[in-house]
Chains A and B, each alone.
Chain A
Amino acid sequence: MQHVSPVREPLVTGGKTYHDITQDVCRQVEAKPNIRWMAALSVALFFLGIFFYSVYRTLWYGIGEWGLNKTVGWAWDITNFVWWVGIGHAGTLISAVLLLFRQKWRSSINRAAEAMTIFAVICAAMFPVLHMGRPWLAYWVFPFQNTFGSLWVNFNSPLLWDVFAISTYFSVSLVFWYIGLIPDFATIRDRAKGPIAKRAYALLSFGWKGSAKAWSRYETVSLILAGVATPLVLSVHTIVSMDFATSIVPGWHTTIFPPYFVAGAIFSGFAMVLTLMLITRVVFKLEDYITLEHIALMNKIMMITGSIVGVAYITEFFIAWYSQVEFEQYAFINRATGPYWWAYASMMTCNVITPQLVWFRRIRYSIPATFVLSIIVNIGMWFERFVIIVTSLHRDYLPSSWVMFSPTWVDIGIYVGTLGLFFTLFLLFAKFFPVVNMAEVKTILKYGVDNGPTYVGHHSHQVAPVHQPVAPAVPASAPVNYNKHD
């Protein structure tokens, strides 16, 4: 009596049962670490070593170890900061915004995407903290009293808004992520054989049992967290953009920055989600959960946000000309044709031209093409931040102070080091935590596979027929043609 809906495509393929989902996701948590994972972790740890050495140089010898000079006082550090924070945005978009829009396909990718958010924000936070020069006094950014050696903080400053935005964003994302993890930790706990694993996951699961009342509250909490995380994620990159937009530096002083930065953040974030998901689905054999359909949908979001970013680039140019401000005009001409033209050209090619390839269905559904594209986009988005920051600063109002910026190996070391930090955290997460939200995927298992709901709600007064011990509903495993348009 199975009926396959002609409109909706199943979100989970391969005819899985609830138990299969548990098995498939728990497999790598319960198995011994394999050689590929160990190899990947070793590489990540090597780069983490570079990070620690570069940080040591920065702290011991000071900011002079970086390539900054009197004119370009902000370069790789803030570029990397904005790049990492931007990457984080896709996780919240998937977990919060798509939840509010009832995009059920998000369920199988939201866990890993949220993990990516948290690790990306950790990496981002390294840069402003290190740039302080004396990170042990980092707590001075919070409103402490005069007796601590400073006045109250300046609440009019976008840099302070950033402190509040990033710390709120980090802690709320972490809590949101953890709430989602609790039922899955309970699943692992109830399957665990070894005494250490059983204790550890019992501790992590907070005593979750899956009772009806707890699930009801859990859903309420998830919905409200999504509701507050949605404006939060938009506010974070808006405030990051205000670090620049509220200044009077030509090239920065533009009102278009908030929406432009938010679109760019989602753009780069989705690229990073794609990079990670394409690897994760193969390594952990999750092809039935993270399907080609997921990849195509994420590609579409990437293409749309990439196009918004492209429009923003052109708008900036138009407004610079239209403003009739000589300095503003020069900043943009210098950006495109000055000594940093190559950075500008890379940005334009990677962010505006290549994502347009996604219009082709064959590319949208191609795994190698998507993988290459996602990496190109992340390179492009790094150049975008570099272009905005360095080209606006290096030729300021006074031609006698015009300089070029070149990074030192410490600059480069900290940047590739944060990549090591990110991948170390992500690999540990992928090994010890469930990479797919099992509980949520179980709710969408029947999506697109309509067994015909038999429950009509308790308001109907008809007496439901006494049920025969019904055969358990079998999800679609039939070789059905799911192409919607036939």
Chain B
Amino acid sequence: MTKRFALGIFDDEDVLLHAIENIRAAGVKIHDVFSPYPVHGIDDALGIERSRLPIAAFFFGLTGLSFALWMQIYMLGFDWPMIIGGKPHIALPAFIPVSFEMTVLFCAHGMVITFFTISKLYPRWKVPVMDVRATDDKFVMAIELKDDASELSRLTQLLRENGASEVNEKEMTQK
């Protein structure tokens, strides 16, 4: 499916943040904003909710900890108990290092895999982008064009008024 977008190109993050606010206040829905670096305050301006990844990270860590404890207690305490250095079979203090490492391992990798999955990041040969300068020095605001040609000229004026240095039209094929 092909969609058309109006792209407002901004040079400065402060101008961009003002523009986001004014354009949203004018009742225009912003499709997305692409920037070369994380702009602080953009989440609030765009109304992006706080990520719940930290909660996921906590539960991944908890899974790692439980798995490590189960593994060590089962293997040395039940499956094949041996006396090592006169210690009890289930020598919990000696299990702390491995439990800690497994907590970190599960937490880090679980969270990163979740991040890649929900952000749809995976290796691919071609990456269609709105504007190649968005990864260099420009801030690109994309607004989806739904109806006639007058919409583009209206948006162009709105974007220009709010400090966009140029406004372009772009067609994107989306799956």
Contact = CB atoms under 8 A, between A and B. Distances in A.
A207 B128 CA distance: 8
A156 B112 contact: no
B161 A466 contact: yes
A466 B102 CA distance: 54
Contact of B37 (A242, A439, A470): A439
Contacts of A208: 121, 127, 135
Nearest to B90: A155
B28 interface: no
Interface stretch (A43-51, A171-179, A272-280, A346-354): A171-179
Contact of B97 (A229, A235, A459): A235
Contacts of A400: none
Given A172-B108, A472-B11, A473-B14, A212 B32 contact: yes
Interface of B is mostly: helix
A212 B98 contact: no
B10 to A, nearest CB: 9
A454 interface: yes
B104 A172 contact: yes
Contact of B12 (A186, A211, A225, A472): A472
A232 to B, nearest CB: 5
A206 B137 contact: no
Contacts of B124: 202-203, 206-207
A466 B105 contact: no
Contact of B127 (A154, A189, A468): A189
A45 to B, nearest CB: 29
B115 A205 contact: no
A469 B160 contact: yes
Given A187-B135, A203-B124, A228 B108 contact: yes
Interface string A189-230: 111000000010011111111111111111111001100110
B103 to A, nearest CB: 8
Size bin of chain A's contact surface? 35 or more
Interface residues of B, number: 81
Most buried by B among A160, A189, A211, A232: A211
Contacts of B45: 455, 458
A209 B130 contact: yes
Interface stretch (A17-25, A262-270, A356-364, A386-394): A17-25
A442 B36 contact: yes
A469 B16 CA distance: 11
A156 B84 contact: yes
A109 interface: no
Interface in B113-130: 115-116, 118-127, 129-130
Most buried by A among B18, B61, B95, B102: B18
A221 B112 contact: yes
A473 B11 CA distance: 8
A190 B136 CA distance: 8
Contact of A209 (B34, B111, B126): B34
Nearest to B44: A458
Given A154-B84, A442-B36, A457-B41, A164 B22 contact: no
Nearest to A203: B123
A266 B80 CA distance: 40
Contacts of B32: 211-213
Interface of A is mostly: helix
B101 A164 contact: yes
Contact of B165 (A153, A154, A459, A469): A469
A468 B162 CA distance: 7
Given A190-B136, A443-B37, A165 B97 contact: yes
Contacts of B161: 466-467
B107 interface: yes
A418 to B, nearest CB: 24
B7 interface: no
A220 B18 contact: no
Given A179-B112, A224-B57, A211 B105 contact: no
Nearest to B137: A18
A151 B82 contact: yes
B48 A213 contact: yes
A191 B134 CA distance: 11
A158 B91 CA distance: 13
A239 B36 contact: no
B65 interface: no
Contacts of B61: 228
27 contacts: A18-B136, A154-B76, A156-B91, A161-B97, A168-B101, A186-B127, A186-B135, A189-B127, A189-B135, A190-B135, A199-B125, A204-B123, A207-B123, A210-B34, A210-B135, A212-B39, A215-B35, A216-B48, A217-B119, A220-B53, A220-B54, A225-B108, A443-B38, A454-B14, A455-B18, A467-B15, A470-B12
Interface of A: 17-19, 22, 143, 146, 151-156, 158, 160-161, 164-165, 168, 171-172, 175-176, 179, 182-183, 186-187, 189-191, 199, 202-221, 224-225, 228-229, 231-232, 235, 239, 242, 438-440, 442-443, 451, 453-455, 457-459, 464, 466-470, 472-473
Given A164-B97, A438-B36, A458-B44, 11 more contacts: A155-B98, A172-B109, A191-B136, A206-B122, A208-B127, A216-B38, A221-B53, A225-B108, A225-B111, A466-B162, A470-B163
The 7 closest A-B pairs by CB, nearest first: A18-B137, A472-B11, A190-B132, A161-B97, A206-B121, A215-B38, A455-B17
